[in-house]
Amino acid sequence: MADTAALENSKKIQTLRKSPASLLGKAFEAGSVAGTVELREVPFLTMAGLRVDPAGEAGERVGAVTGGLPAASGEVRGSGDTAVLWLGPAEFLLVAPAESHDSLGGELPRALIAALADGPGQVVDLSANRTTLELSGPRASAVLEKGCALDLHPRVFKPGTALSTEIGGIPAVLWKTAEETYRVLPRASFAEFLGRWLLDAMREYASTEVP
Q: How far apart are CA 103 and CA 140, in angstroms?
A: 33
Domain boundary among the residues 70, 94, 128 is at 128
Regarding whether 203 and 152 lie in a shared domain, the answer is yes
Give, for all 211 residues of the chain, the pLDDT tens digit: 545 554 455 555 556 689 999 999 999 999 999 999 999 999 999 999 999 999 999 999 999 999 999 999 999 999 888 999 999 999 999 999 888 776 545 678 788 989 998 889 999 889 899 999 999 999 999 999 999 999 999 999 999 999 999 999 999 999 999 999 999 999 999 999 999 999 999 999 986 554 4
Domain range for 180 is: 20-43+131-211
Query: For residue 59, how many other CB atoms are within 10 A of its CB?
Result: 21
Question: Residues near 170 by Cβ (< 8 Å), separated by ≥ 6?
Answer: 186, 190, 193, 194, 197
Q: Tell me the residue length of the chain.
A: 211
Question: Residues near 46 by Cβ (< 8 Å), separated by ≥ 6?
Answer: 94, 95, 96, 97, 98, 100, 101, 106, 108, 109, 127
The CATH number of residue 87's host domain is 3.30.70.1520
Whether 53 is covered by a domain: the verdict is yes
Q: Largest Cα–Cα distance of the chain, in whole Å? A: 68
Whether 3 is covered by a domain: the verdict is no
Burial of 105 (0-12, 13-18, 19+ CB in 10 A): exposed
Regarding whether 171 and 136 lie in a shared domain, the answer is yes
Query: For residue 114, how many other CB atoms are within 10 A of its CB?
Result: 12
Angle at 48 between CA 46 and CA 50, to 5 degrees: 155
Regarding whether 210 and 135 lie in a shared domain, the answer is yes
Name the pTM for this structure.
Answer: 0.88
